[in-house]
Structure 1
Amino acid sequence: MHFDGGLKLAIAQRSSAGQKPVNEDSLGICIPKDEQITTKGAVAVIADGVSAAEAGKEAAETCVTGFLSDYFSTPDSWSVKRSAQQVLNALNRWLYGQGQHYLQAEKGYVSTLSIAIFKSQTAHLFHVGDSRIYRLRDGCLEQLTRDHAMPISRGKSYLTRAMGLDINLDVDYRAADVAVGDVFLLSTDGIHDVLSSGHLQELIGTITIAADLDAICQQMIDEALAAGSDDNLSCQLLRVDALPLEDAGDVYRKLTALPFPPPLAVGMVLDGLVIEEEIHASPRSQLYKVFDATANQHYVMKTPSANFNDDPAYIERFILESWVGRRIQSEHVIAVIAPPLAPTCLYYLSAFAPGRTLGQWMRDNPKPSSKQMLDIILPAAKGLQAMHRRDTIHQDIKPDNILVGDDGQVKIIDFGSCYVAGLAEIAVPISRDRVLGTAQYSAPEHVLGRKPGAKADQFSLAVIVFEVLTGHHPFQGRLENCTTTAAFTRLEYIPACHYNPHVPLWLDAALSRALSISPELRYNDIAEFVHDLQHPNPVYSKDNFQPLLTRNPLRVWQGISFILLLCLLWSLRR
């Protein structure tokens, strides 16, 4: 990747049982050597098994080894926060379950846990318990975590939060900026309870590029023991020596390592692929049907437009399209294919699926039934769910980006506007290309520049459902003209049954909810939306849409009589 490498850390860690016969602390650091240093980051973990718990040592070791193993197994398209929280919740449930074998849960598998994940130019910190994370910058030591402990007497306290203590885990999260020269310290209470912040600052402040971090870790342990520490003692030091790609020139050179393809025509051969047909051309890209004689397979080749050969933001987005496509595994999302030969220029291949776009299908089927609509929308929704599970938002769901195959298969195509949470965390010194979706299908939050979410794809899918069923765009086609919050709030939803009387009220109500201008009012998940498209939701039953006088005339007249009685009593009092 063009943003590979660049993060360099000097590390050291030490742990000692101290005055205790058993060391219940555990710690570990993992700095990947491959692409994961960019997509997942470098990780430091420290845990302090609760000494009052019979399995504190096992709990601490499980926290460290389990997190380091499972975190790097999560999809690299996930954000750091999502990946870490998923792993932490699973670890906590396991520890809590194991602890139920003991008479008292707090006597089981209980441990503190502090984690620092260095990705790009940010340190993502996760913390529960009373171990700590500090940052030394410009000679000043700052504690970045807060202790989850309640003092009960002098020198005694109990943990209010810890791994394995409760089935519901409450972890502190913080994203801290990172600068070259920063030093991060992770420690257990055997050290920081007896050495003051000032003393720690003095010790760590001696760190230079040539400093022996191992020796400083050992010195902290020795001085804590000399100061009377009677607990296990553990610490980790991480010095930031370099950050990824701070120079725009370096990024541009990596982005342009492969040249743009030459002008292609039918019959030409590129890297063993025969150009058979130009499928589509736009100002931003070209699509060709190509044939690989070696594999006897047809593919679709996407090439960048020569109009952008000096635009690093455009080139980056084009490169990331294939990166995204390779990571979405779903029969309802078009597959990105590895080229048969090493590419000599910039392009990528996807599977060839004979068919037509949903836009063309709608022109060929102007009055489809609800079943025909569902036969297309349900698989499209499953494709979107597969993307959302990878923390990826499509951001340009429209009829021309849904392919209806000749075999009936429905696939989502085009990753040119995708937002990937894991990639968004990686800083680059160029202005990233922000490609908006098609205006008449875009959710308001896209147009207003707000943070994207899965509910935006739900909105776009609902626009398509409305159009398939009615032949019209929702909000009388005024959606594409809105550019401000005020303009969106003035939109009025015209029911689908106004255009197509065969649309049931309950289905129309589901559409209305998914098309809410505010994301908070939409369904929590696309699965809920498509369920309500298939099954009448009692909340949206016909009775709920009838006037109260029609549904329950007795209650209406009882209410009117009660109001008249109150008016009569009030007049008599006067």
Structure 2
Amino acid sequence: MHFDGGLKLSIAQHSSAGQKPVNEDSLGIRVPEKDQITTKGAVAIIADGVSAAEAGKEAAETCVTGFLSDYYSTPDSWSVKRSAQQVLTALNRWLYGQGQHYMQAEKGYVSTLSIAIFKSQTAHIFHVGDSRVYRLREGVLEQLTRDHAMPVGRGQSYLTRAMGLDVKLDVDYRAADVAVGDVFVLSTDGIHDVLSSSRMQALIAEHGDELDVAGQCLIDEALAAGSDDNLSCQLLRVDALPLADAGDVYRKLTELPFPPPLSAGMVVDGLLVEAEIHASPRSQLYKVFDPLADRRYVMKTPSPNFNDDPAYIERFILESWIGRRIQSDYVIEVIEPPKTPSYLYYLSDYSPGLTLGQWMQKHPKPATQVMLDIILPVAKGLQAMHRRDTFHQDIKPDNILVGDDGAVKIIDFGSCYVAGLAEIAVPIERDKVLGTAQYSAPEHILGRRPSGRADQFSLAAIVFEMLTGQLPYQGRLQNCATTIAFSRMEYVSACAYNAHVPLWLDASLARALSISPELRYSDVSEFVYDLANPNPEFMKDTFQPLLTRNPLRTWQGISLFLLLCLLWSLLR
């Protein structure tokens, strides 16, 4: 990938039982190669098994080995925070469950834990207990974590938080910026409870070029100062950060040339171009045939209008990266090319059919069940994306394919937000492609952090249009650009346009189309469940006055009645 590599660390770690017969500390560092150093980062982890716990040593070892194994098994598209918290939650539950074999949980599998994950230009710190993480920058040692311990007198304390101590885990998280030359230090209390921060700072600064020597000095001096606990430390110096030069990025992005204008009959990398499916100012779609595999694909090519725009090229490249990681029957499949590409393009599965926009023109105001047959698969596709920390951001009728075989799939990844990729810094201004205004949630327009609730809003807008033939909020959302403008919008009931829309279904639409994302459903699955199953809370409003349920039909009826009265009086 264009943002591969670049992060370089010098590392050292030491551990000693000290005056104790058994070393209950555990520590580990993993610096992966190739793509994972970019998408997942490098990990340093240190754990201190609680002395009062009978299985403290086993708990510390489990934390270290389990995290280093499971963290790198999480999806590349997940953010560091989501990946780490998911793994830590599972580890804590296992430790707590094992600890139930003891009379008291605090006597079982209990350990402190501190983690530093270096990804791009950020250090992600996760911490529970009284081990610590420091950062030495320009001669100043700063403690990045706080101890979860309560003093009980005579220099003694007990942990208020630790791995395996409680079924619910409360982990501190912090994102710290990283600069070349920074030294990060992870230590257990056998060192930092004895040595002051100023003394640790002096020792590390004195041996800054020899991290291995500096780590051993920390242990030796702590022992000499009377430490009676296990002693462990890790030191990581940042020697280089990724992609500091925009020219390097541009060269990587432009390794493959844009394809020439294509037409039926041309052959690209063994693929026969049969027809152009669609063309827009940003890209072209072609139906192509692979004679060796006897299979048809859709080839997407970039627009020549952007052949010198690195932000556009990056987004185009990421489309195929995203598509290959979404495994769902309800999302179009991105296919690996049969040959190494000689141009910049990507392939997806070919499925003949109509876009939902075309389908809606042929089937205006479908019955509720027909609508659900299309919307439920779209919701499942969105759930598959959201599980990957990926938000589509441009759900609209033209990005939903209704196949001739009845299969419904989400297409186009050109506006997707991927949490894991958003954490990777690049020295170019990224391309921010907004979704289509009529279907976009207000937070997209206002530049707020993406979430699954924005896709929920777009899906609800499509349902509203399918049932009524009208856009929600009378189509005025596309004219809003400020918080004040959005706050003035008032939801107009779907029943005002289609008397056959049940009130409970309209209520679910009103909630999913709330201007404020906090007022919507917490997950798209809850929204579609209420679409298919009358919510008892909404049923309370079933017997509203006709004027409230359908004001248009009410006034039409009143007008007709008055007209008949007038005609009757004239004929008398």
Q: TM-score range by the shorter chain?
A: over 0.9
Q: What does 1:15-164 correspond to in 2, within 5 Å?
A: 15-164=15-164
Distance apart, 1:544 and its partner CA: 5.8
Q: CA RMSD in A?
A: 1.0
Q: For 1:503, which of 490, 501, 504 is the aligned residue?
A: 501
Whether the 8 Å CA contact 1:121–1:426 is kept in 2: the answer is yes
Amino acid of the structure 2 residue aligned with 1:352: Y
> Which residue of structure 2 lines up, in the alignment, with residue 270 of structure 1?
268
Distance apart, 1:219 and its partner CA: 1.2
- SS of the residue 2:194 aligns to: coil
Q: For 1:478, which of 473, 476, 479 is the aligned residue?
A: 476
| 1:109-129: CA deviation from partner (whole Å, max 9, x where unpaired) | 000000000000000000000
Whether the 8 Å CA contact 2:266–2:272 is kept in 1: the answer is yes
> Which residue of structure 1 lines up, in the alignment, with residue 302 of structure 2?
304
CA distance in 2 between counterparts of 1:175 and 1:233 reads 26
> Which residue of structure 2 lines up, in the alignment, with residue 235 of structure 1?
233
- SS of the residue 2:285 aligns to: strand
Distance apart, 1:34 and its partner CA: 1.8
5+ residue gaps, structure 2: 549-572
Q: For 2:322, which of 321, 324, 329 is the aligned residue?
A: 324
Amino acid of the structure 2 residue aligned with 1:319: I
Amino acid of the structure 1 residue aligned with 2:496: H
- SS of the residue 1:486 aligns to: helix
> Which residue of structure 2 lines up, in the alignment, with residue 373 of structure 1?
371
- SS of the residue 1:379 aligns to: helix
Distance apart, 1:546 and its partner CA: 3.2
CA distance in 2 between counterparts of 1:81 and 1:252 reads 29
CA distance in 1 between counterparts of 2:211 and 2:205 reads 11
Distance apart, 1:542 and its partner CA: 4.6
* 2:500 is equivalent to residue 519 of structure 1: no
Q: What TM-score, normalized to structure 2? A: 0.95
Q: What does 1:458-473 correspond to in 2, within 5 Å?
A: 458-473=456-471
- SS of the residue 1:205 aligns to: helix
CA distance in 1 between counterparts of 2:125 and 2:112 reads 14
Whether the 8 Å CA contact 1:505–1:542 is kept in 2: the answer is no
Amino acid of the structure 2 residue aligned with 1:154: R
Amino acid of the structure 2 residue aligned with 1:157: S
- SS of the residue 1:78 aligns to: coil
Q: What TM-score, normalized to structure 1? A: 0.94
- SS of the residue 1:476 aligns to: helix
Amino acid of the structure 2 residue aligned with 1:473: L
The aligned length equals 546
> Which residue of structure 1 lines up, in the alignment, with residue 559 of structure 2?
none
CA distance in 2 between counterparts of 1:356 and 1:247 reads 44
| 1:175-213: CA deviation from partner (whole Å, max 9, x where unpaired) | 0000000000000000001011010000111244xx221
Whether the 8 Å CA contact 2:11–2:211 is kept in 1: the answer is yes
Q: What does 1:280-291 correspond to in 2, within 5 Å?
A: 280-291=278-289
CA distance in 2 between counterparts of 1:369 and 1:9 reads 61
The 4+ residue runs of structure 1 with deviation greater than 3 A are 542-547
- SS of the residue 2:10 aligns to: strand
Amino acid of the structure 2 residue aligned with 1:531: Y
> Which residue of structure 2 lines up, in the alignment, with residue 13 of structure 1?
13
CA distance in 1 between counterparts of 2:154 and 2:250 reads 59
Whether the 8 Å CA contact 1:15–1:234 is kept in 2: the answer is yes
Amino acid of the structure 2 residue aligned with 1:304: P
* 2:221 is equivalent to residue 223 of structure 1: yes
- SS of the residue 1:244 aligns to: coil
Distance apart, 1:299 and its partner CA: 0.2
Taking a change above 3 Å as real, the CA distance of residues 191 and 509 of structure 1, as seen in their structure-2 partners, is: same
Taking a change above 3 Å as real, the CA distance of residues 189 and 375 of structure 1, as seen in their structure-2 partners, is: same
- SS of the residue 1:349 aligns to: strand
Amino acid of the structure 2 residue aligned with 1:160: T
CA distance in 2 between counterparts of 1:255 and 1:338 reads 19
- SS of the residue 1:53 aligns to: coil
Amino acid of the structure 1 residue aligned with 2:456: Q
* 2:321 is equivalent to residue 314 of structure 1: no
Question: For structure 1, which segment, 484-493 or 248-257, has the greater mean C-alpha deviation from structure 2 after superposition?
Answer: 484-493
CA distance in 2 between counterparts of 1:10 and 1:441 reads 49
Distance apart, 1:218 and its partner CA: 1.1
> Which residue of structure 1 lines up, in the alignment, with residue 358 of structure 2?
360
Taking a change above 3 Å as real, the CA distance of residues 543 and 453 of structure 1, as seen in their structure-2 partners, is: closer
Distance apart, 1:134 and its partner CA: 0.4
CA distance in 1 between counterparts of 2:385 and 2:419 reads 11
> Which residue of structure 2 lines up, in the alignment, with residue 494 of structure 1?
492
Whether the 8 Å CA contact 2:207–2:213 is kept in 1: the answer is no
Distance apart, 1:545 and its partner CA: 5.5
